[in-house]
């Protein structure tokens, strides 16, 4: 089984910064896509920033130039650096990874439990 655990959420004033981290553990053989999604109250979960199956990354238009995604394959971690935060960035942020476990050698989607980010003055 594979587990994703997020950390780093919190409350910050507009214009501030936060860094989210996600650590994957378990029987990981290979990781394909990995990244971050968010869900605001009353809205659907949306993509924030992801690494695709190759080395390319995709960002939501709303966060381009403000957020940066990074990963450390040796530690099975992915991070999201968030700068110039706005009230509309307030949401629960979820880590996602498409992982092939060494138990069945099949790619499956895994989600973390989420971490709250609140941007408010």
pLDDT tens for the 121 residues of the chain, in order:
899 999 999 999 999 999 999 999 988 888 889 999 999 999 999 999 999 877 799 999 999 999 999 999 889 999 999 999 999 999 999 999 999 888 888 999 999 999 999 999 9
Backbone angles phi, psi at 37, to 5 degrees: -130, 165
Q: Within a 10 A sphere around the Cβ of 90, how many other Cβ atoms? A: 17
Give whole-number Cα distances, 53 to 10, 30, 39, 121, in Å: 30, 11, 23, 38
pLDDT at residue 111, as a whole number:
97
Please state, in angstroms and rounded to a whole number, the distance separating the CA atoms of residues 95 and 6. 7
Q: What is the pLDDT of residue 30?
A: 86
Residue 114 C-beta-side C-alpha neighbours within 13 Å = 12
């Amino acid at each position: 089984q594979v587990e994703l655990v997020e950390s780093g959420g919190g409350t910050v004033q507009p214009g501030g910064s936060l860094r989210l981290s996600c650590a994957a553990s378990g029987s990981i053989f290979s990781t394909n896509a990995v990244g971050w999604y968010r869900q605001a109250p009353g809205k659907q979960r949306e993509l924030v920033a992801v690494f695709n199956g190759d080395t390319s990354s995709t960002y939501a238009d709303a966060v381009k130039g403000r957020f940066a995604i990074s990963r450390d394959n040796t530690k099975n971690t992915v991070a999201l650096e968030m700068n110039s935060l706005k009230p509309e960035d307030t949401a629960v942020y979820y880590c996602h990874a498409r992982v092939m476990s060494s138990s069945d050698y099949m790619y499956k989607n895994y989600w973390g439990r989420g971490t709250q980010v609140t941007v408010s003055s």
